[in-house]
Amino acid sequence: MINETLTMIPGPTPVHSRILGALARPTTSHVAPSFVEEFQQGLAGFRALGQSETAQPFIVAGGGTLAMEMALVNVVFPGEKLLVVSHGYFGDRFGDLAASFGIEAEVLKSEWGRAVSPGEVASRLEAGSYAAVTVSHVDTSTGTCAAVEAYVEVLRGRPELFILDGVCATGGIDERFDEWGVDVLLTGPQKAIGAPPGLALCLFSERALARRKSRSRVPAYYADVMRWLPVMLDPGKYFSTPCVNEIVALAEALRLLHAEGLPARFARHRRIALAVRAGLDALGLKLFTAEDCRADTLSVVLLPEGIADAAFRKEVASRGVVVAGGLGPIAGKAFRLGHMGNINAAEIVEALGAIEGGLVALGVPVTPGAAVAAAAPLL
């Protein structure tokens, strides 16, 4: 028997059977009319997910990191300055990327588990001269959700381009590309969208595309959006063979997502986050992330004193549920529980049950059934 495990890490998230079914459809030519139609639907569904009428979507084989690279190299040029607002490991990655392309990055870092205040962003912008600002909507290492709407007020009307990393947010937390004046929204399919990994997804504003077009070339080939633009405008055109099955699966994931409806989907993510946290609290577990900046898409949970990370996650996995370890300074001290995408109440109950069982097996005194009893009424 093949053991089915419930993957409750902060991405990839469990893939709904309808999306898996789409993935398993026979691979067609990348210019077959049926595929071109799916690709168009995927592009339109992604733009609608960003609540945009005007953005240019890009769907390219790769990953979230390629999407970060596409966002950066097409709008910030070597020798220019970039302000990176970082809430952890993935925010810092923009600094590394910038360094690889000769872009001078200034990283405005929060303490891990806390958020950079809009006032700090405002003072940096007043003091410096930047081509763009990057913000990770949710940093998957710390569980911090950035105060994007407050940053938007700071950025409105300013010349710096606004790059928003939605990899751990898009599809689970409200993102309003046009209204917020985002210039590049980048994301991946494998988290709150609920599709398998393997794609880089970007929305570009007119201003961002104009910035790219102001240069004849950028230090990239595959990540140069001008090579992809003709394909995105007419998916029957060729630049590099698209990953046919994954794009069909993404199109299906986006149909499911829009059938649920964005407000209902965001509300479900909020409800599940609150339920999970009530359950964890009933087990005596504390969250790492400060209360005022917790994301709805994952929880970063401190391990009880004396409980070894590897032993805990092994016990949880033996009960059919996989959670992720901590990253960077909280490696070994915390675990990360994803609760985003197409997960449902039954899966949350299963995850809490496995966490409770793992704690009991390691001798932590918990009241049997307490987590589910606390979470269930909120689901």
Ligand X SMILES: Cc1ncc(COP(=O)(O)O)c(C=O)c1O
Please report how the helices 309-318 and 345-361 are oriented relative to each other, as an axis angle in degrees rounded to 10: 130
158, with CB counted inside 10 A (0-12, 13-18, 19+), is middle
**In angstroms, what CA-CA distances link 142 with 83, 149, 281?**
20, 19, 18
Contact track, ligand X, 98-137, x by CB under 6 A = --------------------------------------x-
Q: Which is nearer to ligand X, 40 or 65 (CB)?
A: 65
Other beta carbons less than 10 A from residue 311's beta carbon: 13
Q: Are strands 199-204 and 56-61 parallel, antiparallel or unpaired?
A: antiparallel
Q: Which is nearer to ligand X, 168 or 352 (CB)?
A: 168
Cβ of residue 256: shortest distance to ligand X, in angstroms? 20
Cβ of residue 161: shortest distance to ligand X, in angstroms? 18
Q: Which is nearer to ligand X, 201 or 280 (CB)?
A: 201
- Provide the H-helix boundaries in 202-328: 206-213, 225-233, 244-260, 262-282, 309-318
Which residue's CB atom is positioned nearest to ligand X?
A: 64
The dihedral region occupied by 125, where left means phi > 0, alpha psi between -120 and 50, and beta the remainder, is alpha
> Per CB under 6 A, does 170 bind ligand X?
no
Piece of 163-171, 235-243, 293-301, 310-318 that binds ligand X (CB under 6 A): 163-171
Question: Would you give the DSSP letter of residue 275?
Answer: H
Site for ligand X in 185-224 (CB under 6 A): 188, 197
Q: Which is nearer to ligand X, 74 or 140 (CB)?
A: 140
> Per CB under 6 A, does 90 bind ligand X?
yes
Rounded Cα distance between 17 and 34, Å, is 21
Cβ of residue 68: shortest distance to ligand X, in angstroms? 6
Structure tokens, 337:
């529980």
Site for ligand X in 254-273 (CB under 6 A): none
Cβ of residue 135: shortest distance to ligand X, in angstroms? 10
Question: Would you give the DSSP letter of residue 130?
Answer: -
> Per CB under 6 A, does 164 bind ligand X?
no
Q: Which is nearer to ligand X, 140 or 245 (CB)?
A: 140
Contact track, ligand X, 30-69, x by CB under 6 A = ---------------------------------xxx--x-
Structure tokens, 64:
């979230």
Q: Which of 56, 140, 205, 299 binds ligand X (CB under 6 A)?
A: 140
> Per CB under 6 A, does 165 bind ligand X?
yes
With contact defined as beta carbons under 8 Å apart, do 201 and 232 qualify?
Answer: no
**In angstroms, what CA-CA distances link 342 with 224, 225, 250, 251, 298?**
32, 30, 13, 15, 13
Please give the residue ranges that form the binding site for ligand X (CB under 6 A): 11, 63-65, 68, 90, 136, 139-140, 165, 167-168, 188, 197
